[in-house]
Amino acid sequence: MSGRVGKRDLDIIRDELSGRDRAIVRQVADLRLMTATQIERIHFGSEIHASASAAARASRRVLERLTRASLLVRLERRIGGIRAGSASFIYALGPVGHRLLNETASARPRLREPSATFADHTLAIAQLVVDLTLAARRGDHDLIGLQTEPWCWRRYAAGLGTEAILRPDLFVSLGIGDFEARWFCEIDRGTEHIPTLIKKCKAYDAYYRSGVEQSTHGVFPRVAWLMSSTKRSVQLQSAIDRDRQLASAMFTVATDNEAVTALTDVAA
């Protein structure tokens, strides 16, 4: 099916969608890219299927149907190569999915195959959302709030009448016992030099000094740098500690494998 569907056809498609279908389409739209495995883990849990293989089969059927209807599109790029099978597919919002979620839009955005760097970074953000969601379902914490790009971006006055935009990768709010932990998250994939990351740290410091976040929400979130390796983590932490402009307490630096632990450590 093409993206050129009329209002009547769109109404029919909408009526035929299940609640799970809608949730998948909306989450793929929010995160921009998701792998088949990520979608399966969130939307086809073992609690609603007899076995892991039954969940995988159901996931494949649903994703194939949503792709045929152009609600989702399957990228040419794969994770792990063709030998990984259907689990290696990467999905983005399709033209009909865009129409479904943005009925007032006069035109749909043109989908271009993303670069490997963009796909890797975007899927890493999606993986953090998956991990936090599954941990919340286990009762490890409450997932109070979550904002993806661009909704997690913050505008503030930068002086001399100019406006700056802080662009976190993700904002999350977690309930941990009697505490609420609020975080701006930065996902490092080893593609930027450490001085570039320090420059981003100074943007957080400038936003903190603007007082906008505190005025709106009463508290300033901590900043979590989730790094691609232990070596990168040590390098960034050392650079933050050496910089006299930065308050080390504002930042938590951990590897991406330690992400959920770092974000739920209220004693940190």
Q: Longest Cα pair distance anywhere in the chain, in angstroms?
A: 62
Higher pLDDT, 138 or 10: 138
* Whether residue 104 is found in the same domain as residue 143: no
192-to-65, 189, 228, 236, 246 alpha-carbon distances in Å:
39, 8, 11, 11, 19
Q: Which amino acid appears at position 55 of this protein? A: A
Instruction: Indicate whether 2 belongs to any domain.
Output: no
C-alpha 108/C-alpha 3 separation (Å) is 8
Higher pLDDT, 104 or 191: 191
Section 21-30 average pLDDT = 97
Three-state SS annotation for 28-91: HHHHCCEEHHHHHHHHCCHHHCCCHHHHHHHHHHHHHHHHHCCCEEEEEEECCCHHHHHHHEEE
| Structural domain of 154 | 120-263
* Residue 138 forms part of a structural domain: yes
Q: Which of 94-108, 121-135, 250-264 has the lowest mean pLDDT?
A: 94-108
Kindly report, residue by residue over 46-97, the tens digit of the pLDDT: 777 778 888 889 999 999 999 999 999 999 887 765 555 677 899 999 999 9
| 16-27 residues labelled b (16+ CB within 10 A) or e (exposed) | ebeeebeebbeb
Q: Domain for residue 200, yes or no?
A: yes
Residues 176 and 215 in one domain: yes
128 and 250 share a domain? yes
Please tell me which residue, 232 or 268, carries the higher pLDDT value: 232
Looking up tokens 């969940």 gives 55
Q: 94 and 163: one domain? A: no
Of residues 267 and 63, more confidence is placed in: 63
How far is the C-alpha of 110 from the C-alpha of 267, rounded, in Å?
Answer: 46
Domain boundary at 113, 135, 167, which? 113
What is residue 85's predicted lDDT score, i.e. its pLDDT?
63
Residues 124 and 147 grouped into a single domain: yes
**Distance between CA 172 and CA 144 in Å, rounded?**
8
**What pairs with residue 83 in β-bridges?**
none
Question: Are 98 and 172 contained in the same domain?
Answer: no
- Asked whether residue 196 is assigned to any structural domain, the reply reads yes
pLDDT at 53: 87
Q: Are strands 154-159 and 162-166 parallel, antiparallel or unpaired?
A: antiparallel
Q: Residue 9 — pLDDT band, cuts 50, 70, 90?
A: confident
Instruction: Name the domain boundary from 113, 135, 150.
Output: 113
Give 130-170 pLDDT, tens digit per residue.
999 999 999 999 999 999 999 999 999 987 789 999 999 99
Q: Is residue 12 part of a domain?
A: yes
Q: How many CB atoms lie within 10 A of CB 9?
A: 13
Asked whether residue 132 falls in the same domain as residue 228, the answer is yes
Same domain? 88 vs 186: no
User: Around Cβ 15, how many Cβ atoms within 10 Å?
Assistant: 7
Q: Quick one: 131 and 71 in the same domain?
A: no
Question: Is 45 in the same domain as 160?
Answer: no
- How many C-beta neighbours within 10 Å does residue 207 have? 22
Asked if the structure places residue 1 within a domain, the reply is no
Give the Cα separation of 183 and 171 in Å (integer): 6
pLDDT-derived band at 267, boundaries 50, 70, 90: low
Co-location of 144 and 79 in the same domain? no
Are 255 and 124 in a shared domain?
yes
Is residue 268 included in any domain, yes or no?
A: no
CATH number for the domain that contains residue 201: 3.40.1350
CA nearest to 129, candidates 226, 17, 236, 21:
226
Q: Residue 118 pLDDT > 70, yes or no?
A: yes
Number of domains in the chain: 2
In a domain, 83, yes or no: yes
CATH number of 14's domain: 1.10.10.10
Tell me which of 81, 113, 145 is where a domain ends: 113
In sequence order, the β-bridge partners of residue 175 are 142, 180
Q: What is the pTM of this model?
A: 0.91
Q: What is the pLDDT of residue 208?
A: 97
- The pLDDT value recorded for residue 1 is 52
Predicted pLDDT of residue 186: 98
- Looking only at the bridges linking them, the beta strands covering 179-187 and 170-176 are antiparallel
**Residues in the chain, how many?**
268
Helix axes 194-210, 230-242, angle to 10 degrees: 50
Q: How confident is the model at residue 36 (pLDDT cuts 50, 70, 90)?
A: very high
Instruction: Determine the pLDDT at residue 109.
Output: 62
Q: What is the pLDDT of residues 189-244, one digit of tens each?
A: 999 999 999 999 999 999 999 999 999 999 999 999 999 999 999 999 999 999 99
